[in-house]
């Protein structure tokens, strides 16, 4: 198609996540398989890479913006802009989940933290009893120093007995079919659940050197 030399790309194809050191594809494909295509960076300088008419340019590219060019009957056409992001990632997903405590009383605030190590970009989802009612605040802290970790914090204010159950976070790798999930069980009680019954008077006296036992029944 001389009026559409580059096959239109969808927005998802224009943002390319690549792990450090991995090759990738800049998917600018032409409607004419014999077209001569040039790849340029944000400074409009040519970038050398092998070209496959069915895929696009293949190579190890630095992070940045790239555009493809071709000529049709003396007229230059440009493809959409492609943005490459280099991410730090591991083949596995080290994930840890922790709760400040696992037993709460009604009205207290539940806090559960899920930490992903050594990966800059992941898709993380929470599953917990109050999710259907969208009860919960989720915060992300991206920590770079001294090491890379993503800290996802789930906060449930004004907890009730209905918030008792499994709190699970599932992390999915940005570029690989790898996922990891962790779970902690949280219990919320309607009221305090310890009953103390002292077996002695509010005021007791003992003689010097006398040994006396003070007994408390705990339920």
| Domain residue ranges of the chain, discontinuous segments joined by + | 11-87, 95-189
| Whether domain 95-189 has CATH 3.30.1490.20 | no
pLDDT at 116: 94
Plot region of 56 (φ>0 → left; ψ -120 to 50 → alpha; else → beta) = left
Question: Once rounded to an integer, what is the mean pLDDT over residues 4-14?
Answer: 88
Question: Once rounded to an integer, what is the mean pLDDT over residues 23-52?
Answer: 92
Q: Are strands 216-218 and 165-173 parallel, antiparallel or unpaired?
A: unpaired
pLDDT at 18: 87
pLDDT at 163: 96
Is there a contact between 51 and 57 (Cβ–Cβ < 8 Å)? yes
Provide the CATH topology of domain 11-87.
Answer: Immunoglobulin-like (2.60.40)
The answer to whether domain 11-87 and domain 95-189 are alike in fold is yes
Question: Once rounded to an integer, what is the mean pLDDT over residues 15-36?
Answer: 89
Checking if the pLDDT of 193 tops 80, the result is no
| Cut 0.75: pTM above it | no
Q: What is the pLDDT of residues 146-179, one digit of tens each?
A: 988 999 999 999 999 999 999 999 999 877 788 9
Question: Once rounded to an integer, what is the mean pLDDT over residues 40-47?
Answer: 93
Mean of the per-residue pLDDT values of the chain: 91
How far CA 214 is from CA of 194, 198, 199, 203, 218, in Å, comes to 18, 8, 7, 11, 13
């Amino acid at each position: 198609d001389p009026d559409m030399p580059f096959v239109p790309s969808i927005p998802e194809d224009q943002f390319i996540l690549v792990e450090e050191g991995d090759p990738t594809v800049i998917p600018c494909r032409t409607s004419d398989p014999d077209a001569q295509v040039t790849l340029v960076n944000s400074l409009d300088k040519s970038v050398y890479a092998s070209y496959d008419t069915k895929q696009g340019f293949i190579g190890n590219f630095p992070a940045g913006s790239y555009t493809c060019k071709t000529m049709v009957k003396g007229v230059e056409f440009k493809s959409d802009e492609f943005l490459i992001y280099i991410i730090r990632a591991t083949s596995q997903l080290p994930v840890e989940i922790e709760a400040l405590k696992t037993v709460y009383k009604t009205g207290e605030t539940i806090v559960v933290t899920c930490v992903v190590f050594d990966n800059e970009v992941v898709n993380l989802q929470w599953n917990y009893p109050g999710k259907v009612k969208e009860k919960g605040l989720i915060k992300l802290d991206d920590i770079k120093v001294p090491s890379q970790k993503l800290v996802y914090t789930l906060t449930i204010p004004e907890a009730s007995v209905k918030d008792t159950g499994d709190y699970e976070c599932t992390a999915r790798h940005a570029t690989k079919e790898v996922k990891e999930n962790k779970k902690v069980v949280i219990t919320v009680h309607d009221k305090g659940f310890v009953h103390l019954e002292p077996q002695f008077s509010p005021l007791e006296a003992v003689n010097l050197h006398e040994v006396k036992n003070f007994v408390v029944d705990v339920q």
